[in-house]
């Protein structure tokens, strides 16, 4: 498969890396890019050799938002009729293996929303996050009004959505939007190290853990706890649970088989 708006590679045969690649537009997200990103992530998800994925951009921009040039002339009939955003922006949510966002530079509008759709973010010191849609007469359209308050709380999220103010990496880490901030030149090394450590874990438990954390993020507490309990129970049907616990008790390294 050849791509025009992203670059795709693997590391150590286990980690799938997608680099957003529309440098002249600061990786603004258009239909072609979102189609290609979805196709690449689904292919990695289906590849048994791959245990984790990373989505990243350039040093200057993870992504500066949805492509304003592409959507400036849209009418209500266009966006509602074509279900603009939902059609190809939600693909990433159906990926079952973990996806890490490695964010350097601007992650604005749809770029911030795309990073939030990933499972966690590692940010470079120059990262800047924001939902500036209000400044161009719209509101976030790819989950920003829902995921940002869940991630950083109502007050900060409301301020950012209403004023379009950007948040730097240090503030994003304090607020819990990103898991860690690292020097720019270490961003990919750190994201790769995290991805490789996930690849060492038993694959079924990794997918189950991702599903359960997302249930907490997206639903109510009692539903989430019940969902977690059932998934927890179900892992006792896997060989890797027996192997993991036997290995711990025998003080040896486990040999997981993803079964
Ligand atoms: N869409 C299309 N083109 C974009 C873009 C975007 N979101 N963001 C930047 N670009 C283009 C600029 O038009 C410019 O192109 P030209 O060189 O052809 O003029 C090029 O990228 C470089 O941008 P700037 O010259 O503006 O660079 P800067 O360093 O001065 O500023 C910036 C960087 C602060 C990110 C600024 O570009 C900016 O504010 N971009 C728009 C951010 C924005 O509003 N994002 C939200 C979009 S709406 C959305 O995302 C809806 C949704 O929820 C899905």
Closest CA to 17 of 60, 64, 57, 61: 57
Any ligand 1 atom below 6 A from CB of 110: yes
Q: What is the DSSP letter of 177?
A: S
Which residue blocks in 143-220 are alpha helix, DSSP H?
Answer: 144-152, 154-163, 169-175, 187-199, 203-218
Enter the ipTM. Answer: 0.98
Any ligand 1 atom below 6 A from CB of 136: yes
Atom in ligand 1 nearest the alpha carbon of residue 25: 21
According to the model, what pLDDT value does residue 85 have? 84
According to the model, what pLDDT value does residue 225 have? 85
According to the model, what pLDDT value does residue 222 have? 85
Q: What average pLDDT does the chain have?
A: 95
Compute the distance from residue 226 Cα to the ligand 1 centre, in Å. 43
Q: Using CA atoms, how far apart are residues 66 and 109, in angstroms rounded to an integer?
A: 7
Please list the active-site residues. Answer: 66, 110, 113, 133
Low-confidence ranges of the chain (pLDDT < 70): none
In order of start, what are the domains of the chain with their CATH numbers?
6-199 (3.90.226.10), 202-250 (1.10.12.10)
Are the beta carbons of 5 and 24 closer than 8 angstroms?
Answer: no
Residue-wise pLDDT for 180-227, tens only, equals: 999 999 999 999 999 999 999 999 999 999 999 999 998 888 888 888
Any ligand 1 atom below 6 A from CB of 115: no
Please state the pTM of the whole predicted model. 0.95
Nearest CA to ligand 1 atom 40: 64
According to the model, what pLDDT value does residue 24 have? 97
Compute the distance from residue 75 Cα to the ligand 1 centre, in Å. 21
Q: Using CA atoms, how far apart are residues 109 and 142, in angstroms rounded to an integer?
A: 8
Any ligand 1 atom below 6 A from CB of 130: no
According to the model, what pLDDT value does residue 1 have? 83
Tell me if residue 63 falls in helix, strand or coil.
strand
């Amino acid at each position: 498969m050849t791509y025009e708006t992203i670059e795709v590679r693997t590391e150590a045969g286990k980690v799938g890396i997608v680099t957003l690649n529309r440098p002249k537009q600061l990786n603004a997200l258009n239909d072609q890019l979102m189609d290609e990103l979805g196709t690449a992530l689904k292919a990695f998800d289906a590849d048994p050799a791959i245990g984790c994925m990373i989505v990243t951009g350039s040093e200057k921009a993870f992504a500066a938002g949805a492509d304003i040039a592409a959507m400036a002339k849209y009418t209500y009939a266009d966006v509602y009729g074509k279900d603009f955003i939902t059609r190809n922006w939600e693909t990433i949510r159906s990926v079952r293996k973990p996806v890490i966002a490695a964010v350097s530079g601007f992650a604005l509008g749809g770029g911030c929303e795309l990073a939030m759709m990933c499972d966690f973010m590692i940010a470079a010191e120059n990262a800047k996050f924001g939902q500036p849609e209000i400044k161009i007469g719209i509101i976030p359209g790819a989950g920003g009004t829902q995921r940002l308050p869940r991630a950083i709380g109502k007050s900060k999220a409301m301020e950012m959505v209403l004023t379009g103010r950007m948040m730097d990496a240090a503030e994003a880490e304090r607020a819990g939007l990103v898991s860690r901030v690292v020097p720019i030149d270490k961003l990919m090394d750190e994201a790769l190290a995290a991805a490789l450590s996930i690849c060492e874990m038993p694959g079924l438990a990794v997918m189950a853990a991702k599903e359960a954390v997302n249930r907490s993020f997206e639903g109510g507490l009692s539903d989430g706890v019940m969902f977690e309990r059932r998934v927890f129970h179900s892992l006792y049907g896997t060989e890797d649970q027996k192997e993991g616990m036997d290995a711990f008790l025998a003080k040896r390294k486990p040999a997981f088989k993803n079964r």
